[in-house]
Structure 1
């Protein structure tokens, strides 16, 4: 009998996993991920992009069955999953698996919430399915990184579709063969391009990953099949979408070493690779004599991904979230980097624009992913340098539970539901004990 393919191995992993075997620390990390995820979605509840997404999907929706966070609205499961995924990912404030730069929760969690609400499933079932789906997404991402992203594929959207399919397969109780089929079907759905990152078109890919996960699992449940080697076959997804894949990255240590347990949460609403830039500039700002008017030039050094993502001309407010120059300017000028610092008024701020113009980005291949070195040349001839290897919020210096709660409350206030934040937080921490999602969804509606 031939060895199982990666797709088949993942299907067995998803179907065979038992909640009681999941370490307590990993269960808690799942709740941290969902706390961060829901807060990010609530924070964009008033954003025109989210309102438009809800309007369009409402026009396509079947019978309402699942809650759209912060909108006072229910859609069918696929519509709610789409809108909630868009909302969570919109501000680049969501979670990140740094090795792949996948944001696991945005594509994986919304379809699980929608299906569980529709079918009356427990909070523990959602947490378990999220861990499994997130693990599948991150492991497939590991197998195709960094070439996949470098070729222009938006890895959250592409690998997120696999994770969403796997999580939904688990939630629907599919057996190992069916779960493998769901993952294989997702290989024909996984899409999204990096070129669209500064536009709302990026979020279409994330939203589609969420709803396509439901579609893949439902088709698999009805007997649809995919190729056994849909991922790694000679004409499979991995070869079509990148360089030669490292299949061992998918299967080695599966169920023992958890990639989703390495998930991280952002203190700033910008791409994760810019956080070290912000932290370095915040540190430099406190040094004697480093006043904004004294700064003649700013040089930011980082790895190839930092430059590819952020060495860009800022033309619109979405560019601000993926800009080395704006990240540095915020740290040096404002001494902060909150949600409002990446909105339209910041784009028009003349002082920020002038500081952005003084910033130059350079490649330093010796710096690891997520790190940055910032060098200031001052009017008096001095040079000041700060290097940040592990920025705040990274795996090495994670946000605490209390910091995640503060971030949640801030986002809830932005979305207009500050008065419910305490109860929402309490319900998320208690999700593993909830017999269904009724109370949580009532609070989020």
Structure 2
């Protein structure tokens, strides 16, 4: 029986773009369009500009675009900054079963390598689909124990996906690709404890950088242990429970996990979207001033992530209480609604204090039930199982375009938004990605 990395290496190396279903190709475009838009929206954020300033003195030849910065760095440095930007606001895509954000740790590596080497857009899309599939399948195999132990799964599995995608883009053999993935298991890192801090940015930024390095080392003959993923002291067991290897190897090329990618209408953790949708719907029946208390029920992940005090923007983006307050007080949940002025808003703060979180194990991941107790004694309840943007209730292409334009305006690059959108939809026919990336610079 082949080991997991070997099976993945063969799958990636043997895959042909011509065999990719049209719907999957289109989903790759949607993923990259969405992520780049998220990156543009935070071009002026200190977390991004600081990362650029730190990396610039150590960068090699400036060949790769840094989103929204009118600057270029080498591939590793550019992908580091761009991954931070794409993931910063928790506005990027999500594979709900694992809570991996697939595009932010993978696409920046591929766009940077392709820009440096003049590679075509179809190759980027193909490599992204394969890298995303590797990340999500490994994520399935180690969930839920991996995340529960404190490993930030976007950063860890994202590094393996970036290595696989970079290996495909570089034309590595099946054996080399397996070693690239194995090398990435020794570099993957990032902890959930650090999510409310800038340390989260570092681990997400490292994922594409480590993926590129892993592929380049494998290309030059570096090797990894055969059972780097599932071995007794390998990635999966060191960072979780006994791995479900069938989740990695079963149905490769037939059942696509990356096809289950979802997109966010709100810049908050994916598990809070049902809370926001439910509160927005209930607001039509009960204005904020009529409400005595709010109870939000959800699964263990919702409570673990979101039953928290709100002290800063990061807290707000993963807060049950803030999400509910926005729904009733502001009837909106855009980028500005999760920034410090909103955190400090006394009306929102007072309403957050009226919100209580409750565990409801029967609810599936991503669902929420909101119950209102009104001042007149009545109760109102709304359950949302398929929030806007979920797999069962997806955002349309038009909605993703509108989100891209909004983010481009926030980042100060709205004049080039339409050109960039058209470029991403036509990415599979582009002879190179250089001009498209420069339109996002």
Report the TM-score, using the length of structure 2 for normalisation: 1.00
Per-residue deviation at 1:199? Answer: 1.2
Cα distance between partner residues in 1 of 2:305 and 2:242: 23
Per-residue deviation at 1:363? Answer: 0.4
1:397 corresponds in structure 2 to 393
2:382 corresponds in structure 1 to 386
1:387 match: secondary structure: strand
- Aligned counterpart for 2:338 among listed residues 338, 342, 351: 342
Spell out, residue by residue over 1:209-265, the C-alpha distance to the aligned partner (whole angstroms, 9 max, x if none): 010000000000000000000000011010000111101000111111100011000
1:200 corresponds in structure 2 to 198
Cα distance between partner residues in 2 of 1:317 and 1:20: 44
1:440 match: secondary structure: helix
Per-residue deviation at 1:318? Answer: 1.2
* Match runs of 1:33-432 below 5 Å: 33-287=31-285, 290-432=286-428
Cα distance between partner residues in 1 of 2:176 and 2:434: 29
Cα distance between partner residues in 2 of 1:59 and 1:442: 21
2:7 match: secondary structure: helix
Cα distance between partner residues in 1 of 2:99 and 2:303: 14
Per-residue deviation at 1:442? Answer: 2.0
Cα distance between partner residues in 2 of 1:24 and 1:211: 29
1:103 match: secondary structure: coil
Per-residue deviation at 1:59? Answer: 1.5
Gaps of 5+ in 1: none
Cα distance between partner residues in 1 of 2:322 and 2:243: 35
1:254 match: secondary structure: coil
1:297 match: secondary structure: strand
Cα distance between partner residues in 2 of 1:75 and 1:317: 29
Runs (4+) off by over 2 Å: none
Alpha carbon RMSD of aligned pairs, Å? 0.5
Cα distance between partner residues in 2 of 1:179 and 1:398: 33
Report the TM-score, using the length of structure 1 for normalisation: 0.99
Spell out, residue by residue over 1:139-197, the C-alpha distance to the aligned partner (whole angstroms, 9 max, x if none): 00000111111111000000000000000000000000000000000000110000111
Gaps of 5+ in 2: none
2:434 corresponds in structure 1 to 438
Cα distance between partner residues in 2 of 1:298 and 1:278: 13
1:384 match: secondary structure: strand
Cα distance between partner residues in 2 of 1:291 and 1:17: 54
Cα distance between partner residues in 2 of 1:67 and 1:250: 33
2:21 corresponds in structure 1 to 23
Spell out, residue by residue over 1:12-34, the C-alpha distance to the aligned partner (whole angstroms, 9 max, x if none): 00100000000000000000001
Per-residue deviation at 1:64? Answer: 1.0
Cα distance between partner residues in 2 of 1:246 and 1:49: 36
Cα distance between partner residues in 1 of 2:379 and 2:7: 54
Per-residue deviation at 1:382? Answer: 0.3
Cα distance between partner residues in 1 of 2:394 and 2:276: 16
Cα distance between partner residues in 1 of 2:96 and 2:328: 25
